[in-house]
Chains A and B, each alone.
Chain A
Amino acid sequence: MSFDREYFNVGYLDSLSYRDTFVHKLDPRVKVLVSFIFILFVVSFPKYDLSGLMPYFIYPVFLLTAGDIPVKAIAKKVLYISPFAIFIGIFNPLLDTEVVLTLSGLPVTGGWISFLSIIVKFILTVSTALLLIAVTSFPGICEALARMKLPKVFVIQLLFLYRYLFVLLEEALRMLRARDARSSGKQGKDIKTFIRLISVLLLRTIERAERIYQAMLSRGFRGEIRVLNRHKLGIQDILFVIFSVGMFYIFRNFNIVGFLGETVSRSIR
């Protein structure tokens, strides 16, 4: 059943984040910061500048290889969300029909270039965000956000979301299995049953919330949760920031692709 598969998918990305590689060991703050700066740089490119974006693929590729993350896991997820980006850019080729260059006789309009640059920006930013989660444990990201002064309410919401996402999914999984066990074929799979399932799930969740709250109270909860700081900035963290942000800056301000292209074509000649 597809729900089973989806459930294990969610768990898969999470299980990747407990590996032990160089990128996994970096301070989560550093990874959140660098990824955020990366996204800012990528988004800052003008809409016709397609070639300038290309060097930026180095960052997700670096996370992917150094973090030992299977490409397929990330590529699939990027593909799932891609319709959003495609719909945003799909009308560009129709609206912007000015021919800006010809590729071996084929005229290419500005619309197509800007459409492609939207897609490339989408792939870069989304894959980086996914990779950030795959190479940083979720509690690590929450710790980073808390220490970067994100309001505590949000951080705690995220922590609880993460903790109970799996519990809730498992509960839903059990209910769906129980339904399937007693519905032969299509019977019992209509929207009416589904609504009841959802409402039961909601009630169970509320009851569970009450029990969790009692468990919190019995351990001295008075309305404040302290997020523990368990990472220390090391030299490798600082070097990572300097090196990657420096690279992003160079990619933004110097035409690396043009330079490479010229060198290659000159050497061929």
Chain B
Amino acid sequence: MSHHILELKDLYFSYPDGTEALKGISFKIFHGESVGIAGSNGSGKTTLLLNLAGHLLPTKGEVSIGEILLTKKTRHEIRRKVGLVFQRPDDQLFMPTVYEDVAFGPVNLGLPSEKVDERVRNALEMVGCLNLINRPPHRISEGQKSAVAIATVMAMKPDILVMDEPASNLDPKSRRQLINLLKGFKHTKIVASHDLDLILDVCERCMIMKDGEIVADGPAEEVLFNEALLGENNLELPLSRQNSRLSFR
């Protein structure tokens, strides 16, 4: 367990227009850990995730997944290990039916069709959407779309599950189902979100980003209950914590 799976060393990233989005980020994530990344809008969360999955290449510094260093050559291999769930499920689900969409990744891995079928069914079973298998993505609800989007990534059997705002646009019940689903995964997880309650429920470790830097990194309960720190970063105490003052729990 002590062996780390993801390491960032002094990572910098600038967009072509000159915006410096990441300014020297370093951290390690270990096997089986689930890490939340919180931060205000525009603090660089999405850019960081895109760098982890090799969609953007760092302008300076290093990203390594397991033993592999992220370079232009290894980015395909990295993407196979890092399962990235995008913020909007409509971007993630691009095939005409749920089945084909979930099958897209395994097919690209070159698996034979029985194996593909097995993976599709397992992944959909895992997120409780096996009944949607033949439906077109434009005819299922938002909550079902996000669940299927996670299935599409799970079918790739990634080493790390990386999610960008997984619960935005979800109604409370779908959100709760998603949280339970995520808690059930034994994977290494990285979740970027404004939803601090979700992070508190799902992650044991939490980082806070501000202007492209990590300003806090520690156990989720410690970081997310630090009112002064949260206030500085356009964040608020998680709602569950606010209620506990009224001895709600």
Chain A residues with a Cβ under 8 A of chain B? 14-15, 18, 137-139, 142, 159-160, 162-164, 166-167, 208, 211-212, 214-222, 224-226, 228, 230
Smallest CB separation, A219 vs chain B (Å): 4
Q: Let me know if A215 and B96 touch, CB within 8 A.
A: no
Q: Does B88 make an interface contact (CB < 8 A)?
A: yes
Q: Does B127 make an interface contact (CB < 8 A)?
A: no
B117-165 with Cβ < 8 A to chain A? 136-139, 152-153, 156
Q: Let me know if B152 and A159 touch, CB within 8 A.
A: no
Smallest CB separation, B8 vs chain A (Å): 18
Q: Which residues of B sit under 8 angstroms from A214, Cβ to Cβ?
A: 50, 55, 86, 91
Q: Which residues of A sit under 8 angstroms from B90, Cβ to Cβ?
A: 167, 208
Partner of B152, one of A208, A219, A222: A219
Smallest CB separation, A1 vs chain B (Å): 21
The A-B contact count (CB < 8 A) is: 78
Q: Let me know if A219 and B156 touch, CB within 8 A.
A: yes
Q: Does B13 make an interface contact (CB < 8 A)?
A: no
Q: Let me know if B94 and A163 touch, CB within 8 A.
A: yes
Q: Let me know if B138 and A163 touch, CB within 8 A.
A: yes
Q: Let me know if A212 and B94 touch, CB within 8 A.
A: yes
Known A-B contacts: A138-B96, A162-B96, A166-B138. Give 19 more (CB < 8 A). Answer: A137-B136, A159-B95, A167-B90, A208-B91, A215-B84, A215-B92, A216-B104, A217-B55, A217-B79, A218-B82, A219-B79, A219-B105, A219-B108, A220-B79, A220-B80, A220-B108, A222-B76, A222-B108, A225-B104
Q: Does B109 make an interface contact (CB < 8 A)?
A: yes
Report the 3 A-B pairs with minimum CB-CB distance, sorted nearest first.
A220-B108, A219-B105, A139-B96
Cα of A189 to Cα of B244 in the assembled complex, Å: 52
Q: Mark B58-89, 1 if CB is under 8 A from A, else 0.
A: 00000000000000000010011011101010
Chain B residues with a Cβ under 8 A of chain A? 50, 53, 55, 76, 79-80, 82-84, 86, 88, 90-97, 99-100, 103-105, 107-109, 136-139, 152-153, 156
Cα of A34 to Cα of B93 in the assembled complex, Å: 32
Q: Let me know if B94 and A215 touch, CB within 8 A.
A: yes
Smallest CB separation, B203 vs chain A (Å): 22
Q: Let me know if A220 and B76 touch, CB within 8 A.
A: yes
Q: Let me know if A215 and B108 touch, CB within 8 A.
A: no
Q: Let me know if B100 and A139 touch, CB within 8 A.
A: yes
Dominant SS at the B interface? helix
Cα of A162 to Cα of B156 in the assembled complex, Å: 25
Q: Let me know if A228 and B138 touch, CB within 8 A.
A: no
Q: Let me know if A219 and B104 touch, CB within 8 A.
A: yes
List the B residue with the shortest CB-CB distance to A160. Answer: B94
Q: Let me know if A218 and B99 touch, CB within 8 A.
A: no
List the B residue with the shortest CB-CB distance to A158. Answer: B96
Interface centre among A163, A215, A218, A228 (most CB of B within 10 A): A218
> What are 21 A-B pairs with beta-carbon distances under 8 A?
A18-B139, A137-B136, A139-B136, A163-B93, A163-B94, A163-B96, A163-B136, A166-B138, A167-B90, A208-B90, A214-B50, A214-B86, A214-B91, A215-B94, A217-B55, A218-B53, A218-B55, A219-B108, A222-B108, A225-B104, A226-B107
List the B residue with the shortest CB-CB distance to A222. Answer: B108
Q: Let me know if A211 and B88 touch, CB within 8 A.
A: yes
Smallest CB separation, B165 vs chain A (Å): 13
Partner of A215, one of B86, B99, B139: B86
Cα of A102 to Cα of B138 in the assembled complex, Å: 56
Given contacts A218-B55, A222-B108, contact A228 B91 (CB under 8 A): no
Given contacts A139-B136, A163-B96, contact A211 B86 (CB under 8 A): yes
List the B residue with the shortest CB-CB distance to A207. Answer: B91
List the B residue with the shortest CB-CB distance to A166. Answer: B138
Q: Which residues of B sit under 8 angstroms from A224, Cβ to Cβ?
A: 108
Given contacts A138-B96, A167-B138, A211-B91, contact A228 B79 (CB under 8 A): no
Q: Which residues of A sit under 8 angstroms from B95, Cβ to Cβ?
A: 159, 163
Q: Which residues of B sit under 8 angstroms from A211, Cβ to Cβ?
A: 86, 88, 91
Cα of A18 to Cα of B105 in the assembled complex, Å: 26
List the A residue with the shortest CB-CB distance to B50. Answer: A214
Cα of A220 to Cα of B82 in the assembled complex, Å: 11
Smallest CB separation, A194 vs chain B (Å): 25
Partner of A221, one of B91, B93, B108: B108
List the A residue with the shortest CB-CB distance to B149. Answer: A215
Q: Let me know if B97 and A139 touch, CB within 8 A.
A: yes
Interface centre among B100, B105, B156 (most CB of A within 10 A): B100
